[in-house]
Structure 1
Amino acid sequence: MTIFRFPAIKARQSDQHTVVSFAALASELQQFAFIERVARDSGGRLSGFQRPQIAGHIREIRDYLEKSEAILPNPIVVAFTSGIEIEEADEFGRCVVRISSHDGPPGFVVDGQQRLSALSQLPDKDFQVFISGVVCEDDAELRRQFVLINNTRPLPKSLIYELLPTVGGLPRRLGDRAFAAELAARLNFDGSSSLKGMIHQHTNPAGIIRDTAIQRVVMNSVTDGVMREMIREPNGEDLCFQVIEQFYAAVKYVFKDDWKNHTPKTSRLVHGAGIMALGYVMEVLALLDGARTWQAFSKGLACLVGRTAWTSGEWEFGPDDHRHWKSVQNVNRDIVTLAQYLITIVRADAKARRAALTEPPDGSPEAP
Structure 2
Amino acid sequence: MPSTDSLSFFAVQAKQSSEHTVLTFAARAADVLRFALIDRIGRDAQGELSGFQRPQVAAHIREIRDYLEKPDAVLPNPIVVAFTEQTNVEDLGNGTVRLTIDMSQGVPGLVVDGQQRLTALSEVDRDFQVFVSALICRDEAELRRQFVLINNTKPLPKSLIYELLPSVNDLPPRLSRRSVAADLTARLNFEHTALQGYIKQHTQPDGIIADTVVQKIIMESLTNGVMRELIDTPRGRDRCVRLVSNFFEAVKKVFPEAWHGQKPATSRLLHGAGIQAMGDVMEVLAARMDAKSVEDFREGLECLKGRTAWTGGEWEIGGEIRRWNSLQNVNRDIALLKHYLVSIVKADLRKRARIAPTPLFEQAEGA
Counting only pairs closer than 5 Å after superposition, residues 185-224 of structure 1 correspond to structure 2 as 185-191=186-192, 193-224=193-224
Distance 1:360 1:175, change over 3 A: closer
Counting only pairs closer than 5 Å after superposition, residues 322-341 of structure 1 correspond to structure 2 as 322-341=321-340
Residue equivalent to 2:52: 49
Tell me, in whole angstroms, the C-alpha distance in 2 between the residues paired with 1:87 and 1:318. Answer: 72
Residue equivalent to 1:286: 286
Tell me, in whole angstroms, the C-alpha distance in 2 between the residues paired with 1:306 and 1:88. Answer: 75
Residue equivalent to 2:123: 121
Alignment partner of 1:12 is 2:6 = no
- Give, in angstroms, the shift of residue 100 of structure 1: 1.1
Residue equivalent to 1:74: 77
Distance 1:89 1:277, change over 3 A: farther
Residue equivalent to 1:160: 161
Distance 1:89 1:343, change over 3 A: farther
Residue equivalent to 1:364: none
Tell me, in whole angstroms, the C-alpha distance in 2 between the residues paired with 1:57 and 1:314. Answer: 42
Tell me, in whole angstroms, the C-alpha distance in 1 between the residues paired with 2:122 and 2:299. Answer: 59
Identity within the alignment, %:
57
Residue equivalent to 1:314: 314
Q: Is the 8 A contact 1:10 1:89 kept in 2?
A: no
Residue equivalent to 2:363: none
The one-letter code sitting in structure 2 at the alignment partner of 1:120 is S
Provide runs of 4+ in structure 1 moved above 6 Å. none
Q: Is the 8 A contact 2:113 2:151 kept in 1?
A: yes
Counting only pairs closer than 5 Å after superposition, residues 100-111 of structure 1 correspond to structure 2 as 100-111=102-113
Counting only pairs closer than 5 Å after superposition, residues 172-187 of structure 1 correspond to structure 2 as 172-187=173-188
SS in structure 2 opposite 1:222?
A: helix
Tell me, in whole angstroms, the C-alpha distance in 1 between the residues paired with 2:207 and 2:298. Answer: 24
- Give, in angstroms, the shift of residue 12 of structure 1: 1.3
Distance 1:32 1:360, change over 3 A: closer
Distance 1:10 1:284, change over 3 A: same
Tell me, in whole angstroms, the C-alpha distance in 2 between the residues paired with 1:7 and 1:180. Answer: 44
Structure 2 unaligned regions, length at least 5: 361-367
Structure 1 unaligned regions, length at least 5: 362-368
The one-letter code sitting in structure 2 at the alignment partner of 1:164 is L
- Give, in angstroms, the shift of residue 126 of structure 1: 2.4
- Give, in angstroms, the shift of residue 360 of structure 1: 9.2
Structure 1, residues 197-236: CA drift from partner, whole Å, max 9, x if none?
1100000000001111110111111111111111111111
SS in structure 2 opposite 1:132?
A: strand
Tell me, in whole angstroms, the C-alpha distance in 2 between the residues paired with 1:327 and 1:333. Answer: 12
Structure 1, residues 73-112: CA drift from partner, whole Å, max 9, x if none?
0000000001111112523x11111111112210000000
Tell me, in whole angstroms, the C-alpha distance in 2 between the residues paired with 1:244 and 1:360. Answer: 32
Aligned residues: 357
SS in structure 2 opposite 1:245?
A: helix
Tell me, in whole angstroms, the C-alpha distance in 2 between the residues paired with 1:316 and 1:99. Answer: 67
Tell me, in whole angstroms, the C-alpha distance in 2 between the residues paired with 1:5 and 1:210. Answer: 45
RMSD: 1.3
Q: Is the 8 A contact 1:252 1:259 kept in 2?
A: yes
- Give, in angstroms, the shift of residue 327 of structure 1: 1.6
Tell me, in whole angstroms, the C-alpha distance in 1 between the residues paired with 2:31 and 2:208. Answer: 41
Tell me, in whole angstroms, the C-alpha distance in 1 between the residues paired with 2:156 and 2:102. Answer: 30
Q: TM-score, normalised on structure 1?
A: 0.95
Q: Is the 8 A contact 2:318 2:336 kept in 1?
A: no
Residue equivalent to 2:344: 345
